[in-house]
Amino acid sequence: MKSCPCVFNFVFCCGLIFSIVCWFSGISGAYAQEASSFHAAPVQLSENTCLIAPHENSVVVVSRLWLILKGDVPEEVLHNGKPVKWDKHFAEGTYVGILRLDLGMQNLKIGEREFQFVLGRNEKDHAGPEEWQVYRLHNMKPGPNPCMRCHESEKQEDGKAKIGALMKPAEACFKCHIMEKIDVQHSNTKLSGDWKEKCSDCHFIHASPHKYLLRQQRETYLKDPSIEEAPEK
């Protein structure tokens, strides 16, 4: 049997991707003190299965979220006690289901493992523990199968999509993000070499508790943190 590849180390494609993702953290009263790090690596459920999203013990603020599993799917996958329906457009090995959430605590049961996360009204108003971090999702333009926009993918003879590794930034990130604009935005950052090939060194692809989906707080990456951030247009 094949072991689970860690090709989603960015972690909701897709959203939701809710995907993911996407495939997965709010700090209620102490939100100003954002976490200094964020571990978005897949959760290894078994030798052949890992959970890409959502993140355990996290806060989400969207009512539709992608559940993403990679590998062999357990027979029993429940969201709040109800079986999860899988998107039929994905080939065997990638399992994506849209979770429709009501406010409050959410329970996932995947095989023998149980997880919790919470849907809040906003990043500061939620029913989870104070130390849970907000799961900021990667915004995606509307359209079918957003996973294929960033991952190497191929359609099989049956029409289902086989999802592979993350594409290079030129093939994924800069389809939507304007390179010239990003060049200006990065003028105060500690970047060396060709940063255009290193997006995932600083950013997570699926989600992060930090602005711009950064792996750490923004100040960590700046040459001069005293320079104020330019307002977004």
Of 92-101, 119-128, 141-150, 196-205, the range with the lowest mean pLDDT is 141-150
Task: Check: CB of residue 48 under 8 Å from CB of residue 71.
Answer: yes
Examine residue 4 and state whether it is found in any structural domain, yes or no.
no
Gap between the Cα atoms of 85 and 87, Å rounded: 7
For 112, the domain range is 9-222
User: Residue 231: CB partners within 8 Å, gap ≥ 6?
Assistant: none
Asked if pLDDT for residue 148 goes beyond 90, the answer is no
Gap between the Cα atoms of 189 and 36, Å rounded: 18
Gap between the Cα atoms of 49 and 74, Å rounded: 8
Examine residue 232 and state whether it is found in any structural domain, yes or no.
no
Q: How would DSSP label each residue in 155-204?
A: E-TTSPEEEEEEPPTTTTGGGTS-HHHHHHHTTTB---S-GGG-HHHHB-
Of 14-28, 119-133, 195-209, the range with the lowest mean pLDDT is 14-28
Examine residue 2 and state whether it is found in any structural domain, yes or no.
no
Phi then psi for 194, rounded to 5 degrees?
-85, 90
DSSP 218: G
Of 1-10, 68-77, 121-130, 148-157, the range with the lowest mean pLDDT is 1-10
Examine residue 111 and state whether it is found in any structural domain, yes or no.
yes
SS3 112: coil
List pLDDT tens digits, range 160-195: 999 988 888 888 898 888 888 888 888 889 887 777
List pLDDT tens digits, range 20-52: 333 333 322 222 233 344 556 678 999 999 998
* Neighbour order of strands in the sheet with 43-46: 43-46, 49-53, 64-71, 94-100
Q: How far is CA 13 from CA 17, 18, 35, 44, 148, in A?
A: 4, 6, 23, 18, 9
Examine residue 1 and state whether it is found in any structural domain, yes or no.
no
Q: How many domains does the chain have?
A: 1
Examine residue 230 and state whether it is found in any structural domain, yes or no.
no
Chain position carrying tokens 């005293």: 226
Examine residue 150 and state whether it is found in any structural domain, yes or no.
yes
Note the pTM of the prediction, 2 decimals.
Answer: 0.72
Examine residue 231 and state whether it is found in any structural domain, yes or no.
no
pLDDT given at position 7:
36
